[in-house]
Amino acid sequence: MHCTPRRKPLSTPMHLAGIALALLGTFGAAPAHAGEVYANLGLPGIGLGYAHPIDSHFTVRGDFMTMGSRQKDTTEDGIAYTGRYKLQRVALFGDWFPFEGSFRLTGGLSSNNYRVSLDASGAGGSLTIGDRTYTTSAGDGLNVEIKFPAVTPYLGIGWGHQTSSGWRMAADIGALIGKAKVTATARGALANEADIQANIDKELAQLRDGVGKIRAIPQLSVSVGYSF
């Protein structure tokens, strides 16, 4: 097994949130329409955001959405895993209203923390990985990481967040564009088996035929907001 040093992400949720606030503050310093605070519900979870209409054709927005962290047991390719999931993102959007109505086209950039960690313990006495069943102890195991890119573009359509006042509704249909990366690491005495890497590669090939083919995370959400 070779260890590759982790590269520092190009951006973090807090970093992108700071950029969003700075941009929105810049727009807020110029004559513009009233801003809107809104709450999201749907995919990917729940969240809060702020929209700032520039004119009847264009709005800038920043929001945060999360599904939190959770744990769930699952079985993939015959291996029983304990799965841990962390799903959240911070995004900056530009909305274009081509007809000066509620319909809009939306593009943006998102800083993501979409990660799934699957851990298979050898405490049961054996693990079948690839073409071989290994005799294991509690100190042995296999960890699989499924991770979406840290920074991705967003494309979508929607309704709402245009120039208005008072209570309002909005909806979004779109996706974060990026390919999931799948890696695996053996631990304990299992990591020293002569053929373990070859069998891990076979296991990963099967996983990549499934979750590894994910190239986008959808957004299907509705929101309620208030424009001041």
Nearest alpha-carbon partner for 91 in 36, 147, 57, 51: 51
Work out the number of other CB atoms within 10 angstroms of the CB of residue 99. Answer: 9
The model's pTM: 0.77
Give the model confidence (pLDDT) of 70-120 as tens digits: 888 888 777 889 999 989 999 999 999 999 899 999 999 999 999 999 999
pLDDT at 20: 47
Contacts with 192 (C-beta within 8 Å, 6 or more apart), sequence order: none
Question: Domains in the chain, ordered, with CATH?
Answer: 13-227 (2.40.160)
- Whether 137 has a pLDDT exceeding 90, the answer reads yes
Quote the CA–CA distance of 85 and 67 in Å, as a whole number. 9
Give the model confidence (pLDDT) of 27-67 as tens digits: 444 445 789 999 999 998 999 999 999 999 999 999 999 99
